[in-house]
Chain A
Amino acid sequence: GAGVSQSPSNKVTEKGKDVELRCDPISGHTALYWYRQRLGQGLEFLIYFQGNSAPDKSGLPSDRFSAERTGESVSTLTIQRTQQEDSAVYLCASSLVGGVRGMGEQYFGPGTRLTVT
């Protein structure tokens, strides 16, 4: 596709269950970012991938959060034992190259709205 896609668009889960959120970046983009947007707040950085490696995981809020990326394409964000405070929109972005060389120009997907009941 032409843009970044994410699935599912909406996910409702019970507290304590695990969830997987998927991101398909723009083809050829080597850098991939995950952000979280809580209601009424700005975006919080979660993790950055350059290729398949994640040099910056500093934004992951707890060890219940993990992410992986395969083949410089699809990335999966996994949240284990979900809590109500995990409810948010999770946004994925990709960039042709990472870091400052990418000039910060990130292309965002539509997000996955996660609701933990």
Chain B
Amino acid sequence: AQSVTQPDIHITVSEGASLELRCNYSYGATPYLFWYVQSPGQGLQLLLKYFSGDTLVQGIKGFEAEFKRSQSSFNLRKPSVHWSDAAEYFCAALTDSWGKLQFGAGTQVVVTP
């Protein structure tokens, strides 16, 4: 079955440290892949997306993600986190021609001083 997996439910990181969030997908072909962020009380915001081409994609707020076909992964990274990056992060894949997104369970990021 098609799926998106985020292995880490919760990550704590110090402000200024680097952050990497893992995402694995299970699809027959390379899906369109996305990372969204959900801050408390707000809707989901698109950070970045991958369709094809360059496997390293840049997004907003200093985030980037790397697509690795051999590992079926699309991990999100940020070199230096800010307190405002504390939020829940969702990896998602476009699964069909209707545009339906399938989401992972999310990773909660806590930033400590």
Contact = CB atoms under 8 A, between A and B. Distances in A.
Interface of A: 3-4, 31, 33, 35, 40-45, 48, 50, 55-56, 59, 91, 93, 95, 98-100, 102-111
Interface in B71-113: 90, 92, 94, 96-106
Interface string B8-51: 00000000000000000000000010101000011111100101
A44 to B, nearest CB: 8
Given A41-B105, A42-B104, A104-B32, A99 B99 contact: yes
B44 A91 contact: yes
A69 B51 CA distance: 30
Given A42-B106, A104-B32, A104-B34, A110 B42 contact: yes
6 contacts: A41-B106, A48-B100, A99-B98, A105-B46, A110-B41, A110-B43
B45 A104 contact: no
Interface residues on B, range: 20 to 34
Given A109-B43, A110-B41, A33 B100 contact: yes
Interface string B45-74: 110010100000000000000000000000
